[in-house]
């Protein structure tokens, strides 16, 4: 970085929060409408201190890992900044995870602690943890001894009913009262911007989720430039219906807010169109975040015609390809005339490119913008990695302050994604135009993106291969008007077996997150292959589009 580096460049997240709290002490920092919480930046900073001291009181030290299994609840945000203040690495856990997925995250991330709410929709998190850690019920709070998870010592209950072996939220705060504030100050002084602060799990084509390890600087610079491109200031109020466990929520949401002094407005613990519209109206939000499906749900809500969304100015649409016609409706009908589009991935903290509020409408609805300052982007041949000229489609790769440290405890997978020169290979196909703007044209890797959720086909395939009736299975994504993509499973049954699509879906729902469950199931006798016998997934996708009559959805133009 140069002398004109952003003011956050040499700081940690905790230090940035302190400065913003001094500059804007009485402005709203966090408003959680469902929980009835409203805090100014001064109050928020003081509460973060209390939570950070509580973590120290429970024995957490810099470098320890603390998982959070929760929807958008106020304690989630407090833990994010408290962990950053004392050097604890926050591990984001998707609340849609089933038992097997939670087991993997607990073990692979080496969590010392897990903070959780009581449940999410039909999932009972207490029951899930009891199944994985039966020792919890008889352990002393904060001193768990689990043979399956030897590093896991502390389970923190963020809300809900009491549970033996868990540390309650008030107990966490009480533990901090015994810790000298100087201990926290000493830790803060030792932290550096390049220390890891966040471990975010992202699905990959290898099947199992991979943990992208991100630093203070990764997140702060991404948030700073995302805020800059939206022209966010302390007067702005960001409506955040996107999930905090995803980098859309905990970087472009919370970090954008803290670097600019803007307010964080959380409508509900998970996305609800009506609650989001209520928040925009009641709190006079000036920015709105969402994946395309969220914007569609708001625009199509029966009460939308009588809503006053005139306070909106900007925001970010990202997470999956953005239909151009939808982008036009958001800028006109919804009123977010300066909405921006972002493109990136978790491994890139997450943004690589964005549009700007003053870009032409053509650029803002037809491209994913230009690279953030300090990030190099090039388009290369996916096979040879030779750089391609403008106008030719190839794999987009980037290098700069946004690239993760690597996948936690997975050096081989890290080396497959980041080369020796620091280039991160995204697996996305793109074209660079002569004016420096980029357009996404597809994916080199076979990831499915449904409603902003990354889905690895191999993970679903590996699960279905465990079904006693299934001989072979191939999973692909097909276009969908609402979610961007949906999951299709082509299944070859064992000789003499029979099954129904409902049976297959029920099997999946009981074992993996709901959004990974195939919407479409087709039973087949064979798969399209090359002459050497390699299955051609692109032909499965093409045939599925024909069979399901999805040609119109496939023709939707995206940026």
Tens digit of each residue's pLDDT (9 = 90 or more) over 366-377: 899 999 999 999
Asked, for residue 87, whether it belongs to a domain, the answer is yes
Give pTM, 2 decimals.
0.88
Q: Average per-residue pLDDT in the chain?
A: 94
The three-state secondary structure class of 200 is strand
Q: What's the structural domain count of the chain?
A: 2
Asked, for residue 107, whether it belongs to a domain, the answer is yes
Domain end, chosen from 327, 347, 373, is at 327
pLDDT of residue 90: 98
| 445, pLDDT greater than 70 | no
For the beta carbon of residue 349, count every other beta carbon within 10 angstroms: 31
| 455, pLDDT greater than 90 | no
Containing structural domain, residue 463: 448-554
| 206, pLDDT greater than 70 | no
Task: Spell out the residues 6+ positions from residue 96 whose beta carbon is closer than 8 angstroms to its own.
Answer: 120, 123, 513, 514, 515
Give the angle subtended at the CA of 290 by the CAs of 289 and 294, to the nearest 5°.
135
Asked, for residue 3, whether it belongs to a domain, the answer is no
CA 508 – CA 96 distance, rounded (Å): 13
pLDDT of residue 383: 85
CATH number (domain holding residue 462): 3.30.300.30
Q: Are 285 and 311 in contact (CB under 8 A)?
A: yes
Domain end, chosen from 282, 303, 327, is at 327
pLDDT of residue 132: 97
- DSSP class of residue 530? -
Asked, for residue 249, whether it belongs to a domain, the answer is yes
| 2, pLDDT greater than 60 | no
- Mark whether 112 and 260 lie in a shared domain: yes
CA 295 – CA 318 distance, rounded (Å): 11
- Mark whether 454 and 323 lie in a shared domain: no
The predicted-structure confidence for 474-521, as pLDDT tens digits, reads as follows: 999 999 989 999 999 999 998 899 999 999 999 999 999 999 999 999
Bridge pairing between strands 119-120 and 210-215: unpaired
The predicted-structure confidence for 323-364, as pLDDT tens digits, reads as follows: 778 888 999 999 999 999 999 999 999 999 999 999 998 898
CATH number (domain holding residue 177): 3.40.50.12780
| 205, pLDDT greater than 90 | no
pLDDT of residue 4: 73
CA 357 – CA 372 distance, rounded (Å): 14
pLDDT of residue 535: 80
pLDDT of residue 293: 84
Asked, for residue 193, whether it belongs to a domain, the answer is yes
Q: Are 252 and 443 in contact (CB under 8 A)?
A: no
CA 515 – CA 266 distance, rounded (Å): 23
| 531, pLDDT greater than 60 | no
The secondary structure of 15-36, three-state, reads: HHHHHHHHHCCCCEEEEECCCC
Domain end, chosen from 308, 327, 346, is at 327
pLDDT of residue 80: 98
Distance (Å) of CA 300 to CA 205, 222, 327: 34, 32, 14
Mean pLDDT of the region 384-411: 96
Mean pLDDT of the region 18-42: 98
Asked, for residue 388, whether it belongs to a domain, the answer is no
Asked, for residue 216, whether it belongs to a domain, the answer is yes
The predicted-structure confidence for 126-174, as pLDDT tens digits, reads as follows: 999 999 999 999 999 999 999 999 999 999 999 988 999 999 999 999 9
Q: Which residues of 270-287 are buried (b: 16+ CB within 10 A; e: fewer)?
A: bbbbbbbbbbbeebebbb
The three-state secondary structure class of 406 is strand
Asked, for residue 387, whether it belongs to a domain, the answer is no
pLDDT band at 538 (very low <50, low <70, confident <90, very high): confident
Q: State in Å, rounded, how far the first CA of the chain is from the last one.
A: 30
């Amino acid at each position: 970085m140069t002398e004109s580096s952003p003011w956050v460049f040499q700081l940690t997240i905790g230090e940035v929060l302190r400065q913003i709290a001094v500059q804007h002490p009485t402005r709203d920092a966090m408003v959680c409408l469902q929980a009835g919480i409203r805090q100014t930046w001064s109050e928020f900073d003081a509460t973060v201190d209390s939570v950070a001291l509580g973590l120290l009181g429970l024995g957490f030290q810099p470098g320890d890992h603390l998982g959070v299994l929760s929807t958008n609840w106020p304690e989630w945000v407090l833990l994010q900044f408290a962990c950053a203040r004392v050097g604890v690495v926050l591990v984001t856990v998707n609340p849609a995870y089933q038992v097997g997925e939670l087991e993997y995250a607990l073990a692979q991330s080496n969590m010392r602690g897990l903070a959780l709410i009581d449940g999410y929709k039909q999932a009972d998190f207490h029951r899930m943890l009891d199944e994985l850690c039966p020792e919890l019920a008889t352990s002393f709070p904060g001193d768990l001894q689990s043979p399956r998870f030897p590093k896991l010592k502390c389970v923190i209950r963020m809300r809900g009913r009491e549970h033996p072996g868990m540390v309650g939220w008030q107990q966490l705060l009480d533990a901090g009262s015994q810790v000298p504030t100087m201990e926290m100050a000493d830790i803060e002084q030792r932290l550096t911007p390049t220390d890891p602060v966040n471990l975010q799990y992202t699905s990959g084509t290898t099947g199992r989720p991979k943990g992208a390890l991100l630093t203070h600087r990764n997140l702060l610079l991404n948030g700073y430039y995302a805020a800059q491109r939206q022209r966010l200031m302390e007067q702005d109020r960001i409506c955040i219906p996107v999930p905090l466990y995803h980098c859309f929520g905990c970087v472009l949401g919370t970090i954008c807010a803290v670097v600019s002094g803007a307010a964080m407005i959380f409508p509900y613990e998970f996305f609800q169109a009506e609650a989001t519209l209520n928040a925009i109206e009641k709190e006079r939000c000036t920015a709105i975040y969402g994946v395309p499906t969220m914007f569609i749900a708001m625009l199509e809500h029966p009460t939308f015609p009588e809503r006053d969304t005139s306070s909106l100015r900007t925001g970010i649409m990202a997470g999956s390809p953005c239909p151009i016609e939808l982008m036009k409706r958001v800028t006109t009908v919804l009123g977010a005339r300066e909405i921006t589009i972002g493109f990136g991935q978790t491994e890139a903290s997450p943004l690589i490119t964005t549009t700007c509020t003053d870009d032409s409408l053509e650029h803002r609805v037809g491209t994913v913008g230009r690279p953030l300052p300090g990030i190099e982007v090039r388009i290369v041949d996916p096979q040879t990695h030779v750089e391609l000229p403008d106008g030719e489609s190839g794999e987009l790769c980037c290098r700069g302050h946004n690239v993760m440290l690597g996948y936690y405890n997975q050096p081989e997978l890290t080396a497959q994604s980041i080369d020796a020169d620091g280039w991160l290979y995204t697996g996305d196909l793109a074209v660079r135009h002569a004016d420096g703007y980029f357009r996404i044209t597809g994916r080199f890797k076979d990831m499915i993106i449904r409603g902003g959720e990354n889905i690895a086909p191999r993970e679903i395939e590996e699960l279905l291969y465990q079904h006693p009736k299934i001989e072979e299975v191939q999973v692909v994504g097909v276009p969908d008007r609402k979610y961007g993509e949906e999951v299709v499973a082509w299944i070859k049954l064992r000789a003499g077996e029979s099954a129904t699509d409902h049976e297959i879906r029920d099997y999946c729902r009981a074992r993996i997150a709901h959004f990974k469950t195939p919407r479409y199931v087709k039973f087949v006798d064979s798969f399209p292959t090359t002459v050497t016998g390699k299955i051609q997934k692109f032909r499965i996708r093409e045939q599925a589009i024909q069979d399901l009559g999805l040609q119109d959805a496939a023709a939707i133009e995206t940026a």
